[in-house]
Amino acid sequence: MAKARLLIIDDDVQLGERLVRYLQQFDYVADAASHPRDGLNRLEVSSYDLIILDVMMPEMDGFEVLRQLRQNRSLPVIMLTARGDVSDRIVGLELGADDYLPKPFEPRELVARIQTVLRRGRSSGKAEEHRRFGDLQMDLAAQRVTLAGQEISLTHLEFELLRVLSNRPRHVLDRDALMDSLRGMDWDAFNRSIDVAVSRLRQKLGDDPKAPRFIKTVWGSGYMFLGEQDV
């Protein structure tokens, strides 16, 4: 199996250099960019499996980098933040972050989160390659979703949420079950982030919460995927 390639975007040059050396011990290939523009430029010329992105940076913060990134890429992003504000985490989630790690952190915890996020992506396509629910199609291996023939751009987290919900059509999944299935995010810090993620997924699927085609809210219980899989 090829080594996973990681890109660290953080204006703390020393931290970036230490993380590059540390991650090499776990068989990762890591690059570090100390300026947001440099990081975005690297993404234009090199392929990466995951990005480690600092929030607090000069000229362009991590949120703006993530906005630009999500315009045409869905690769996983773990955000680093020196601010513990829950609202920061929700903003990052809304923009498509896959996980958060507050500074200061233990490097081994970062490795554990990298492993979890990458494992989620690899495991999503093992049991089957494709699912079809009417005009909604999922390519699990490529993490690609189309609706009525048009590709829907989902973040890694949004795709995983759709996959988990569609694993059990017509069954109610409560927030605890969803959080357990989506290990890697620091859900305990802000449980309502599940609701934010579901809301964003619905918007991208064009799903009306009042008359849902795909995801129904079961008040007081959780969420239910309504699609019936084509055989």
List, for residues 60-111, the tens digit of each pLDDT value.
999 999 989 888 787 889 999 876 666 677 777 777 788 888 888 999 999 9
**Is there a contact between 52 and 6 (Cβ–Cβ < 8 Å)?**
yes
User: What is the tens place of the pLDDT at every residue in 186-196?
Assistant: 444 445 577 88
Q: What pLDDT, on a 0 to 100 scale, did the predictor assign at position 126?
A: 47
Summarize the confidence of residues 14-30 as an average pLDDT: 95
Question: Taking the model in full, what pTM does it have?
Answer: 0.64
Summarize the confidence of residues 208-216 as an average pLDDT: 91
Q: What pLDDT, on a 0 to 100 scale, did the predictor assign at position 4?
A: 92
Summarize the confidence of residues 140-164 as an average pLDDT: 87
**CA 210 to CA 198: how far, in whole Å?**
14
What is the location of CATH 3.40.50.2300 in the chain? 5-123
Pick the CATH number of 5-123 from 3.60.21.10, 3.40.1360.10, 3.80.30.20, 3.40.50.2300: 3.40.50.2300
Q: What pLDDT, on a 0 to 100 scale, did the predictor assign at position 70?
A: 83
Q: Residue 43 — very low, low, confident or very high, per pLDDT cuts 50/70/90?
A: very high
User: What is the residue-averaged pLDDT of the chain?
Assistant: 85
Query: In CATH, what is the architecture of 130-225?
Result: Orthogonal Bundle (1.10)
**CA 16 to CA 200: how far, in whole Å?**
32
Q: Where are the beta strands (DSSP E) in the chain?
A: 5-9, 29-33, 50-54, 77-81, 99-102, 130-133, 136-139, 144-147, 150-152, 172-173, 215-218, 222-225
Helix axes 193-205 and 156-167, enclosed angle (nearest 10): 90
CA-angle at 230, arms to 224 and 231, nearest 5°: 125
**Is there a contact between 148 and 135 (Cβ–Cβ < 8 Å)?**
yes
Summarize the confidence of residues 204-230 as an average pLDDT: 89
Q: Helix and strand tally (H, E) in the chain?
A: 8, 12
124 forms beta bridges with none
What amino acid is encoded at 178 in this protein? Answer: L
